[in-house]
Amino acid sequence: MLRPPGALPFSLTIFLLLACTAEERASTPSPTPGLTPASAPAPRLDASPIPAQPAPEVPPELRVAGRIPLPADLALVLEGGCFGCDGPPTGLNRVYRQPSGSLRYEFLTTAERLPSSIQDQRYQSFTRFLVTESIVQAGTCAYGDCSWRPEDAREWVFESSDGGVTWTPRGQRDLMTVAVQAPLGAFSQRRPLRLPDAQLLWPSEDGASILRADGSRFLTLNLGVDAALLQVIEDPNADVVAVLWSRPKEGRLYLGAVQASTGQTYVYRAGNLYSLAGWLDGRRLIGTLTLSGLDPGPPNRPVLIDIGTGEMQAINEVDAPQLGRGLVRLFFKGPFARVIDTGSCLNLRQAPDANAPVPDCMADGVLVTDLGQTNGGWVRVRTPAGLEGWASERFLER
Instruction: Quickly count: other Cβ atoms within 10 Å of residue 184's Cβ.
Output: 10
Q: Tell me, letter by letter, the H, E, C secondary structure of 200-269.
A: EEEEECCCCEEEECCCCEEEECCCCCCCEEEEEEEECCCCEEEEEEEECCCCEEEEEEEECCCCEEEEEE
State how far the Cα of 70 lies from the Cα of 92, in Å rounded to an integer. 18
Q: Specify the higher pLDDT residue, 96 or 130.
A: 96
Give phi and psi for 75, each to the nearest 5.
-115, 135
pLDDT value, residue 5? 37
Report the Cα–Cα distance between both ends of the chain, in Å, rounded.
40
For the segment 128-146, the average pLDDT, to the nearest whole number, is 75
> At residue 47, does pLDDT exceed 60?
no
pLDDT digits (tens, 9 = 90+) for 51-68: 555 445 689 999 999 899
- 379 CB contacts (<8 Å, ≥6 apart)? 337, 370, 371, 373, 390, 391, 392, 393, 396, 398
> At residue 48, does pLDDT exceed 70?
no
The pTM assigned to this predicted structure is 0.80
Question: Considering the chain, what is the average pLDDT of its residues?
Answer: 79
State how far the Cα of 260 lies from the Cα of 338, in Å rounded to an integer. 37
Whether the CB-CB separation of 201 and 193 falls below 8 Å is answered with yes
Q: Concatenated DSSP letters for 308-356?
A: TTTEEEEETT---GGGTT-EEEEEEES-EEEE-S-SSEEEEBSSSSTTS
Closest residue by Cα to residue 231 from 378, 2, 72, 12: 12
User: What is the rounded radius of gyration, in angstroms, for the C-alpha atoms of the chain?
Assistant: 21
pLDDT digits (tens, 9 = 90+) for 197-237: 778 899 999 999 999 999 999 999 999 988 999 999 998 78
Pairing of strands 311-315, 63-68: parallel
For the segment 102-115, the average pLDDT, to the nearest whole number, is 82
Instruction: Quickly count: other Cβ atoms within 10 Å of residue 205's Cβ.
Output: 16
For 169, the enclosing helix (H) or strand (E) is: strand 168-174
> At residue 117, does pLDDT exceed 90?
no
The yes/no answer on whether domain 337-397 falls in CATH 2.30.30.40 is yes
State how far the Cα of 20 lies from the Cα of 3, in Å rounded to an integer. 9
User: Phi-psi region for residue 288, left (φ > 0), alpha (ψ -120 to 50) or beta?
Assistant: beta
> At residue 128, does pLDDT exceed 60?
yes
Whether the CB-CB separation of 384 and 162 falls below 8 Å is answered with yes
Q: Give Dmax over CA atoms of the chain in angstroms.
A: 64
Whether the CB-CB separation of 207 and 222 falls below 8 Å is answered with yes
Residue ranges of the chain that CATH labels 2.30.30.40: 337-397
pLDDT value, residue 370? 96
pLDDT value, residue 3? 37
pLDDT value, residue 33? 36
For the segment 374-384, the average pLDDT, to the nearest whole number, is 96
Q: pLDDT band at residue 149, thresholds of 50, 70 and 90?
A: low
Whether the CB-CB separation of 134 and 333 falls below 8 Å is answered with no
Q: pLDDT band at residue 16, thresholds of 50, 70 and 90?
A: very low
Quick check: helix, strand or coil at residue 28?
coil
pLDDT digits (tens, 9 = 90+) for 301-314: 899 999 999 999 99
Give phi and psi for 77, each to the nearest 5.
-115, 120
Whether the CB-CB separation of 101 and 93 falls below 8 Å is answered with no
How is residue 377 annotated by DSSP? T
pLDDT value, residue 38? 37
CB burial string 353-392: b at 16+ within 10 A, e below: eeeeeeebebebbbbbbbeeeeeeebbbbbbbbebebbbb
For the segment 367-381, the average pLDDT, to the nearest whole number, is 96
